[in-house]
């Protein structure tokens, strides 16, 4: 056990040195009191098993980059395998911890750990500092401004934040004094493990790395997009293509989700680009996208059971069905609808798909075609998305399934017409569903319509080389609209019964 006291900064979704006030607090405390500084990360083995390997790779790369950057300022990252709640209590004693800093998280699993850790820390007289630094605005302050209730529309949210001044971003680049180093500073046991060490054999789903993790990469990517001033000022989300081969939006989301990039820095850089230029506006502008993130965060922070239908007071109850085969076909990209399948396969391979592509497959799974709960879809997204984020995932799934925020359930995406708008020859489908590569454009979205002779010439007979459709969209979506209408009626009646009579 060490004889000197320590200050711990627990890195979680703040894998960066810029805009990290909690870490700055830790450094100041360690230097002022001549304590040892211990920046830690807990790699949760349970989580590793369920999350897709691409996201794990992104995380490992981000941790490696963080460690490199920490070493440049004369400190390092101490990585532990296990849950924080299991590791920290021992470390508190072993390291004689006096001060613990971290970012504020709203994911209930993390909150639960935080509460347990807080109790132990209190007994040991450890001072805890937590900072809201995953969003531009302090969502708790926004909720207070709205008298404690969740702003249910985007416009309402914007009106609440419009006069809030966003503080400048701080940077940590000063060398940390030698007295903050521990004697086990160079110990390899705390090094960031390699992907090979973690997953040994199973690399089947690992594909080429399109989006390497880390703060360094995040800042590079941000610079690249912010230098395209005209592109930023003309950005209109609904007009960006869901099926372009190269992404039509920034793909900054994995960096924001892991905290390699601070939302506040992104905000200030966008304001700088917009300043003095004609530019598009929220909700469609790029700044408007960032505000969607803030909107869902605030809703997530203010709603109990936000990621569930039951016990979630903003979520409409819909009697979803169960169909494990359909769910599997959807998740694996073998529904027989080439556009849906291409999207799901891109998701599985690359860990990122365009927002409108997410719309397409989320609508298809839920109210559009398969009538399966959005909670099931959200779990699949949690496994595969590099940018998985507890509140953004749940919030957007509720939107798409018309369970909250959005109520035009009768507007259903067509798996045939929607993709054609931006890619009539189906180049995107040809890339991700290569079985259909040789199909004539006329049939690429509806290969079952191709005459047998064409199917044979294209080298892929439907039902043999590529699945038959698992449902008939034309028929089923109309039935589902009826079911939605019925569910809305029942919910309305239920609410009316709950309302006190005057």
Q: Which residues bind ligand FAD (CB under 6 A)?
A: 237, 247, 249-253, 256-257, 289-290, 292-293, 296, 354-355, 358-359, 362, 381, 385, 387-389, 392-393, 396-397, 400
- Cβ at position 424, least distance to ligand FAD in Å: 23
Say if CB 413 and CB 360 are below 8 A apart.
yes
- Cβ at position 279, least distance to ligand FAD in Å: 15
DSSP single-letter state for residue 466: B
Say if CB 384 and CB 52 are below 8 A apart.
yes
Helix (H) or strand (E) holding 166: none
The closest alpha carbon to 68, from 189, 190, 214, belongs to 214
Structure tokens belonging to residue 392? 């953004």
**Which residue, 62 or 101, is less far from ligand FAD as judged by CB?**
62
- Cβ at position 221, least distance to ligand FAD in Å: 10
Centroid of chain to Cα 439: 35
**Which residue, 250 or 316, is less far from ligand FAD as judged by CB?**
250
Q: In whole angstroms, how far apart are CA 461 and each of 60, 440, 452?
A: 42, 13, 7
**Which residue, 251 or 404, is less far from ligand FAD as judged by CB?**
251
Name 79's bridge partners.
41
**Which residue, 51 or 75, is less far from ligand FAD as judged by CB?**
51
CA gyration radius for the chain? 24
- Cβ at position 24, least distance to ligand FAD in Å: 24
CB neighbourhood size of 107 (10 A)? 16
Q: Which residues contact 456 (CB under 8 A, 6 or more apart)?
A: none
- Cβ at position 314, least distance to ligand FAD in Å: 16
- Cβ at position 118, least distance to ligand FAD in Å: 27
**Which residue, 383 or 396, is less far from ligand FAD as judged by CB?**
396
Spatial separation of the C-alpha atoms in residues 41 and 84, rounded to whole Å? 8
**Which residue, 36 or 222, is less far from ligand FAD as judged by CB?**
222
- Cβ at position 28, least distance to ligand FAD in Å: 30
- Cβ at position 397, least distance to ligand FAD in Å: 5
Spatial separation of the C-alpha atoms in residues 299 and 397, rounded to whole Å? 13
- Cβ at position 227, least distance to ligand FAD in Å: 15
Spatial separation of the C-alpha atoms in residues 221 and 255, rounded to whole Å? 9
- Cβ at position 11, least distance to ligand FAD in Å: 19
**Which residue, 41 or 384, is less far from ligand FAD as judged by CB?**
384
Spatial separation of the C-alpha atoms in residues 15 and 36, rounded to whole Å? 20
Phi, psi of 231 (to 5 degrees): -60, -45
The closest alpha carbon to 362, from 398, 321, 336, 329, belongs to 398
**Which residue, 89 or 283, is less far from ligand FAD as judged by CB?**
283
Spatial separation of the C-alpha atoms in residues 441 and 111, rounded to whole Å? 51
DSSP 289-332: HHHHHHHHHHHHHHSTTTT-STT-TTSPP---B--HHHHHHHHH
**Which residue, 146 or 240, is less far from ligand FAD as judged by CB?**
240
**Which residue, 182 or 360, is less far from ligand FAD as judged by CB?**
360
């Amino acid at each position: 056990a060490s004889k000197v006291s320590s200050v711990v900064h627990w890195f979680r979704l703040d894998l960066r040195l810029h805009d990290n006030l909690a870490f700055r607090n830790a450094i100041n405390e360690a230097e002022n009191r001549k304590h040892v500084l211990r920046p830690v990360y807990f790699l949760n083995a349970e989580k590793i098993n369920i999350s897709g390997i691409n996201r794990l790779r992104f995380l490992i790369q981000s941790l490696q980059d963080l460690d490199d950057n920490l070493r440049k300022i004369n400190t390092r990252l101490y990585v532990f395998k296990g849950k924080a709640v299991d590791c920290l209590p021992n470390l508190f004693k072993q390291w004689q911890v006096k001060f613990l800093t971290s970012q504020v998280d709203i994911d209930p699993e993390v909150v639960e750990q935080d509460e347990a850790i807080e109790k132990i820390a209190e007994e040991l007289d450890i001072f805890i500092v937590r900072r809201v630094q995953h969003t531009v605005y302090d969502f708790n302050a926004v909720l207070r401004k709205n008298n404690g209730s969740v702003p249910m529309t985007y416009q309402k949210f914007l009106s609440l934040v419009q006069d809030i001044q966003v503080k400048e971003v701080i940077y940590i680049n000063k060398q940390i004094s030698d007295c903050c180093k521990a004697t086990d500073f160079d110990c390899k046991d705390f090094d960031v493990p390699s992907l090979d060490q973690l997953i040994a054999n199973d690399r089947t789903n690992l594909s080429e790395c399109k989006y390497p993790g880390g703060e360094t990469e995040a800042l590079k990517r941000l610079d690249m997009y912010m230098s395209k001033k005209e592109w930023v000022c003309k950005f209109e989300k609904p007009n960006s293509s869901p099926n372009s081969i190269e992404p039509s939006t920034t793909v900054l989301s994995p960096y924001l989700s892991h905290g390699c990039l601070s939302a506040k820095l992104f905000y200030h850089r966008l304001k700088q680009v917009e300043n003095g230029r004609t530019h598009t506006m929220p909700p469609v502008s790029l700044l408007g996208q960032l505000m969607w993130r803030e909107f869902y965060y605030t809703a997530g922070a203010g709603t109990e059971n936000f990621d569930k239908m039951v016990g979630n007071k903003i979520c409409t109850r819909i009697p979803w069905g169960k169909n494990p085969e359909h769910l599997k076909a959807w998740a694996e990209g073998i529904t027989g609808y080439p556009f849906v399948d291409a999207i799901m396969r891109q998701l599985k391979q690359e860990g990122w798909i365009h927002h409108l592509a997410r719309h397409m497959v989320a609508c298809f799974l839920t109210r559009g075609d398969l009538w399966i709960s959005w909670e099931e879809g959200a779990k699949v997204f949690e496994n595969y998305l590099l940018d998985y984020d507890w509140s953004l995932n749940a919030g957007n799934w509720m939107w798409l399934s018309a369970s909250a925020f959005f109520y035009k359930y009768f507007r259903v995406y067509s798996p045939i017409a929607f993709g054609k708008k931006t890619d009539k020859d189906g180049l995107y489908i040809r890339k991700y569903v290569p079985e259909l590569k040789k199909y004539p454009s006329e049939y690429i979205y509806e290969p079952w319509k191709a005459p047998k002779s064409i199917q044979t010439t294209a080298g892929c007979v439907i039902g043999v080389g590529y699945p038959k459709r698992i449902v008939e969209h034309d028929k089923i979506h109309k039935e589902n609209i009826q079911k939605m209408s019925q569910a809305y009626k029942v919910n309305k009646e239920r609410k009316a019964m709950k309302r006190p009579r005057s």
